[in-house]
Amino acid sequence: MEKRNRVIFTLKNLGTTKAIDVLKEGLTDPSVLLAHEVAYCLGQTRNAHAVPYLVNTLKNDALHPMVRHEAAEALGAIGGENAESTLREYLNCSIPEIRDTCQIAVNLIEWKNVNKDDADANASHPVFLSVDPAPPLNESENVQNLGKVLLNTDLPLFERYRALFALRNVGTPEAIKFLGEALHQKSSGAVFTHEVAYVLGQMQDKLATQALSDVLADESLNCMVRHEAAEALGSIAEDQTIDLLKKFTNDKEEPVSASCVVALDILNYVKSDQFQYADGLTDN
């Protein structure tokens, strides 16, 4: 799993039509984690060649919701008429992870249509280098105000996501405190809390270690939230989490167990002198 994951991210970095044609073969892989990572990477390329593959994935009721959710988010990242029309078909989906993701993705496309001069605002941070599902709110905004938006369950998820990415960019201990609180806000749903875990992994701040460890250890939570917490712990790379990650490599949920295997590989990479994680073009 570790090696396959590195190859997926290598192909993402290539981003060519040929790379996408290879990646799409993994969208129906028996491993939920791997298929989800493929969908994520296809979205990160922002290459419209991937749209038909992602549309088919979102429409495939036989696939795990975590994979279909990621396909929906990827369609939002790429955009276009075909992506948008498909996403709109699922705005009332009975599966919350799919419904919420499609709503956020449609909101992103709509925001870009209105804010054409800032169309890359969700993919322009010089440190995190990710295509995000929402552009950040103004980072000069008071952190307390951003935190209030983040935690306000009466607001649309898209607006709360915008506060989330603004707080990530601010990166202060106070910002991390708000993110830790949001991580445990079960009433906000799995899509929201899993994105918080993802952002904490991007930040790689050890202040988030305990909150993420608690999420991984809570077997009552949705597997996509625990999966994201595991990979975030791998990115933070604190020795104190190694035993926890090893324990859950045997979790009953494949996305969690496989994520812990990947997380341990990421942790070893972060603590090593390896040049890059996406090393699928090397022989080792």
Q: Which residues are annotated as a binding site?
A: 36-37, 69-70, 194-195, 227-228
Chain-centroid distance, C-alpha 53:
19
CA distances from 29 to 15, 35, 122, 187, 200 (A): 20, 5, 29, 31, 27
CB 147 within 8 A of CB 178: yes
Q: Which residues are annotated as a binding site for Fe cation?
A: 36-37, 69-70, 194-195, 227-228
Name the burial class of residue 123, with classes exposed (0-12), middle (13-18) and buried (19+) by CB atoms within 10 angstroms of its CB: middle
- Rounded Cα distance, 12 and 43, in Å: 9
Residue 49 gets which letter from DSSP?
Answer: G
Virtual torsion, Cα 191, 192, 198, 200, nearest 10 deg: -160
SS3 125: coil
Cα–Cα distance, 264 to 278 (Å, whole number): 15
